[in-house]
Amino acid sequence: MRILDIEPVSPAEASALTPHLVEGEAADAAFASPTGSVLFTPLRLLLVTREKLLEEKVETASWPYREIRHFSIQDSEDGRAALRIWLGAEAQPLHLRARAGIDLGPLQRLLAERLG
């Protein structure tokens, strides 16, 4: 799976990250990195990845929330945070790393609500 060093994106700007949202679908939370982005909508999690930074090839993968096996959040003393999400049959989790000052707590709560 992927490791992304993420920055938050406003839900209003999230629709520009992928053309693969269905009509009426909007992101509740979105994060971007130089090599991809991840969007959390009411229906699913979308992972948009680029093979290389300057490459034109872009892959969009979609998982309904029922495909999330579990997730974990890590906070470090220097203020950085990481969220790992195990998706479907993937052996390795999607690893979202955030710099100090980015609070992943709201995303953890969103996942808990969607999976609960």
Residue range 49-54: average pLDDT? 75
For residue 106, give the 3-state DSSP assignment: helix
Q: How far, in Å, are 2, 68, 97 from residue 17 at the CA level?
A: 17, 22, 18
- Say if residue 29's pLDDT is above 80: yes
How many structural domains is the chain composed of? 1
Q: Report pTM.
A: 0.91
Q: Whole domain around residue 11: which residue ranges?
A: 3-115
What's the whole-number mean pLDDT along residues 50-59? 76
CB-based contact 9:90 (threshold 8 Å): no
Overall average pLDDT of the 45-61 stretch: 83
Q: Check which CATH number belongs to the domain holding 64 and give it.
A: 2.30.29.50
pLDDT in tens, 72-101: 999 999 999 999 999 999 999 999 999 999
Average pLDDT of the chain is 92
